[in-house]
Structure 1
Amino acid sequence: MGVTVDFQNDGCAILTMRNGQNRWNLTTLKQFNDALDEVEKNESARILVTTGEGKFYSNGIDVDWRKIQRQEIIAKFNIVLWDTMWRVMHFPLPTVAAINGHCFAGGAFLAMCHDYRVMRSDRGWISWNEMLISIRIRGPSYEILQRKLSREALRESVIFAKRITGPEAVKLKIVDKIELETNLISRSKQIGFEALGKNVIKRDDLQIMKKDMIPRKFDVSKL
């Protein structure tokens, strides 16, 4: 089972990616979006926490899959990928990425699209390694980084492609908190519920506010 959703009694929906390194291809993107559909259909869900299974939160694009695809499939993949990222960015619930392990490239982009991020304090790196494999970051990918990373974080984790640990990620404000693995989900849930506070926030209003405050401008279909 590639992606599962656990609806808990307190209103938290926990989405868990279970595809090994959780790399992105059309199949895994569909699984992820199907899971998001489940969450949106469940009216009792109040917050969304996403996480991975094992050593990886996500290791980015499935490059082995991508390099054997026809150009029209790659074009479709690019559209679905960035539509998925922005779907998370504008999701109608508070979203928290519980970064359980390594979080590279496309996986790091996904984490940054959440409202909040909690990373393991004792293991795992977050990094954009495009520099190391001669890939330029432009258009839709740069748009997300520009909105979410400080200049210092952009310099360290993207321009110089450093592998950032949890404690370093907090200092660079890439993530909000760090926690031991045993407390990762509970801390992520706490942050999500604290975001709501005692306010009665309607889903539609939250989504509209996110779209207004973090508008999407780049049209992937024109790539």
Structure 2
Amino acid sequence: MMGMSVEFHDDGCAIITMRNGQNRLNVSTLKQLNDALDTVERNVSAKVLITTGEGRFYSNGIDLDWVASHEGEREQFLQTLWDTLWRIMHFPLPTVAAINGHCFAGGAFVAICHDYRVMRSDRGWISWNETLIHMRISDPLIEILQHKLSAEALRESVIFAKRITGPEAVKLKIVDSTEEEDNLIAGSKRLGLQALGNNNIQRADLQNMKKDLIPRQILQSVNTSKL
């Protein structure tokens, strides 16, 4: 599919690669991502989901130019974004974000909704830069941050919008590990497969446990001026 590829490997790992340049999030790229997630869910042999980008970016966040030029679609876009993030959060397989490059704002939200995250050790930042671009974060996204980041990580990467390197992100527990570029996918596979171990966890049971322990309580924002 244009802009997004899905590969199934013999070890049971499904890999979605985002191929839209900076992988900015708009209606088109969110549809591509959801179509790719549908493809993975339909494959009963898939055991682990890995998402990654190519080149310099995992994702450079929301496509603000698109949002500005499609003001009438803003509310629907935001709802689709929130729904997609929670779909990843509650996905019925172990999920790993293989963060190949820069991962900012909306792209960082995509990454932290995975069960596990692996960054390159030598290149790339993860950051929520809303403070720097005069934007506020909507309640549905704040809920995700509160589920996924510690107070220290929130302070450094969100409140003060610092660009966090892979090794720094490990210390802040934003990501689980770092790998050199050539080992990024292999390391991500290892994490995902180790999560399952020898347990025969059924998809429905895994999804139900995620929903119970990481419940979605804010379905929409009362203030859509925030992203």
In the alignment, structure 1 residue 2 sits paired with structure 2 residue 8: no
TM-score by length of 1: 0.98
1:138 offset after TM fit, Å?
A: 3.1
Deviations 1:119-146 (A, max 9, x none): 0000000000000011112301100000
Deviations 1:193-221 (A, max 9, x none): 00000000000000000000000000216
* In 1: Cα distance, 2:194 partner to 2:58 partner: 23
Q: Percent identity?
A: 70
Equivalent residue runs for 1:86-165 within 5 Å = 86-165=86-165
TM-score by length of 2: 0.96
* Moved segments of 4+, more than 3 Å: none
* In 1: Cα distance, 2:21 partner to 2:210 partner: 31
* In 2: Cα distance, 1:221 partner to 1:170 partner: 31
In the alignment, structure 1 residue 174 sits paired with structure 2 residue 193: no
2:51 aligned residue: 50
* In 1: Cα distance, 2:213 partner to 2:40 partner: 23
Counterpart contact for 2:138–2:221, Cα < 8 Å? no
* In 2: Cα distance, 1:96 partner to 1:27 partner: 23
SS of residue matched to 1:49: strand
* In 1: Cα distance, 2:137 partner to 2:85 partner: 15
In the alignment, structure 1 residue 70 sits paired with structure 2 residue 71: yes
SS of residue matched to 2:22: coil
1:195 aligned residue: 195
* In 1: Cα distance, 2:210 partner to 2:120 partner: 27
SS of residue matched to 1:174: coil
Deviations 1:173-212 (A, max 9, x none): 0000000000000000000000000000000000000000
Tell me the C-alpha RMSD between the 2 structures.
Answer: 0.8
Counterpart contact for 2:108–2:126, Cα < 8 Å? yes
Consecutive unaligned residues in structure 1, runs of 5 or more: none
SS of residue matched to 2:137: coil
* In 1: Cα distance, 2:78 partner to 2:138 partner: 13
SS of residue matched to 1:220: coil
1:150 offset after TM fit, Å?
A: 0.4
In the alignment, structure 1 residue 204 sits paired with structure 2 residue 207: no
* In 2: Cα distance, 1:144 partner to 1:41 partner: 26
1:117 offset after TM fit, Å?
A: 0.2
SS of residue matched to 2:45: coil
